[in-house]
Amino acid sequence: RTVYLNGEYLPETEARVSIFDRGFVMADGVYEVTSVLQGKLLDFAGHLARLGRSLGELQMGNPLSAEEWLTIHRKLVELNGIHEGMIYLQVTRGNPGDRDFAYPPEDTPQTVVLFTQSKPGLADNPQARAGMRVVSVEDLRWGRRDIKTVQLLYPSMAKMEAKRRGVDDAWLVEDGFVTEGTSNNTYIVKDGRIITRQLSQDILHGITRASLLRYAAEAQMQIEERPFTIAEAQAADEAFFTSASAFVMPVVEVDGVALGSGRPGPVATRLRELYLEESLKTAI
């Protein structure tokens, strides 16, 4: 596999980053994941815009132009022959030499890493036909979940808790309300209405979420942006989650309670089709 590191395209075994890198010792970095379908990038403009915002919130500059980011993404897709899969992008505050809580001088070069992962069957995913089962786990993450940092230990712990309990993923709960999934935005459907938590610092502003809500509104579907509880999810007709790598994923069970028919519902199924169809139109 060929990866990108600080201006160079290298075999993955030759890409090396300093042990002093702040991404490594302090999780001081941000990332993006863009999906590739039919060899094209989905929602690329959205992912780049959020990258800029995440960097800005952490007083980091954007090391490359939109054109340069696009060129690197396209080149890695081509070099690695990615038809279906994803591209991971990470920018850290680089290597200041000595470990220090204070940020290093602004001219410290950032570390820029991109790599691809091939994932055949991403669009025609058997899990989307079966639906996923989730359990609730307390949301113990930090308070700036709107910044897409590489600090992913708690979501990872919650994911392992879900696995221990024999299901697919965890829905995080704070003050009695679902915030989001370990790596996705969450939704319920009741009487045809799509309900999802409103944007704030409590959740990541999902790029898939933004596109899907736009497509759903254009299709005259009813959307309510507000928090919901696990009890409300269990009493819902359907549930689902969204992320760049899962697109729209039906959820069929919440904390052991089957939703509706216990099978992916019509709204989630339609929204998955709608997202795939519409996002491919703007894929680049």
Report the interface residues with ligand PMP, using CB under 6 A.
Answer: 33, 180, 183-185, 204, 206-209, 242-244
Rounded Cα gap, residues 245 and 43, in angstroms: 11
CB of 61 to ligand PMP, least distance (A): 22
Nearer to ligand PMP, 168 or 180 (CB): 180
Rounded Cα gap, residues 165 and 109, in angstroms: 43
Nearer to ligand PMP, 54 or 269 (CB): 54
Q: What is the dihedral of CA 180, 246, 112, 154, to 10 degrees?
A: 30
Burial 151-165 (b: 16+ CB within 10 A, else e): beebbeebbebbeee
Query: Does the active-site annotation cover 163?
Result: no
Nearer to ligand PMP, 1 or 53 (CB): 53
CB of 189 to ligand PMP, least distance (A): 18
Partnered with residue 185 across adjacent β-strands are: 242
Rounded Cα gap, residues 218 and 155, in angstroms: 33
Nearer to ligand PMP, 111 or 179 (CB): 179
Q: What is the dihedral of CA 261, 218, 145, 44, to 10 degrees?
A: 110
Catalytic choice (119, 148, 159, 163): 148
CB of 66 to ligand PMP, least distance (A): 17
CB of 77 to ligand PMP, least distance (A): 18
φ, ψ (nearest 5 deg) of residue 116: -110, 155
Q: Are 93 and 110 in contact (CB under 8 A)?
A: yes
Residues acting as catalytic residues: 148
